[in-house]
Structure 1
Amino acid sequence: MTLEEKHLPYEGRFIDVENKPTWFLEMYPEGKVPTMFIDQDWIGDADVITDMLETKISIPTMRPPPEKATIGLKVFPLFVKFLRSKDSGDGSEQAFLAELQALNEHLKIEDAAHKNPFVSGRFPSMLDMNLTPKLYHMDVALKHFKNWSLPQDLVYLEAYMKKMFTRPSFTKTKSPEDVVIRGWQRHLSSIGQ
């Protein structure tokens, strides 16, 4: 998404993580995805890649203001905990919902006070690049594995997700839903779910 938002040329290839091609493993033995070859080195962490791109090419800037830099960062780990949970009384869904409600409230305040369409302001930031794919995985996986959908009262979060899921930078780079489901199925199987 960051490459698309910054209008940088790149050659992208989807890798079947269950059957990584030999050419990929020969070039990058760690085999992590997403990965990027930049400055004669392989980087296998989306957050590091985004930060590196922002450092090298800061126009347009995508750094969020420091006071907003952690908004939404707990959503993904809490989603994973809820997805993996077998006990409806363990509090994982409630903790996850509380974090989604906090994100919804932030988006509501941004909209009411400033008419800001993104997590940290008027323009997309690294937060949006980080959060959007994770919200997509959340949406797809929870519908499939738990028959769960976003509560209707989270209207600002729902609007944000719709806007980001149709943004060209996301539609050009997202994984198909069946790939997301297969990936989470593999993950859940590996922990005995």
Structure 2
Amino acid sequence: MLPGWLRPKGASTRLAVDVTFLETRTACPTPILPDGFPLTRMTGSDVVPLYRALYAGVGQEYCWWMRRSMPDQDLADILHDPAVHFMVLRDSSGSPVGFYELDLRRGGDANLAYFGLLSQAMGRGLGRMLLDHAVARAFDAGSWRLRVNTCTLDHPHALPNYQRAGFVIRNVVSETWDVPDEYVPERLRRL
């Protein structure tokens, strides 16, 4: 049963999606970050607003909605767990341009819960570097496997990028989501 915050309280749009579950068991060396693009693990009391801004900015066109409807305290509980790594990529001006959330709470069975770049950072090779960094971090932490999933609503390069990074498809599941209208991108409302 879905938690209450995942059930729409107002108008919603029903969307059919195919969710692809992938995994890798192959470590990679930690990539060297490009000059002017520091990557920092975020902790502290101010992580929730930053996380929400990045989550919405990265995922707004791809119908990322589950964490947007999650209560602040539930999100804070996840982000403050020492086994969850909220990593933020910034540009030379200090502005966030991307992030990933690596969940190491299941021992060696790691999960790349969320990953992405803001649109202005795409097309410069930063996504591959950020993904390689997440993979390296998972295996450096002692993981034997790193899982990730994507769906048909995500960026069209998401699945090929995961596969290029060594992830293999383990399962594809068709699901129907009732997404609150406030989180449905305009392009999907016309379907």
Greater strand share, structure number: 2
Relative contact order, CA 8 A, sep 6+: which one is greater? 2
Which structure has the larger Rg over C-alpha atoms? 1
Task: Give the structure-1-normalised TM-score.
Answer: 0.32
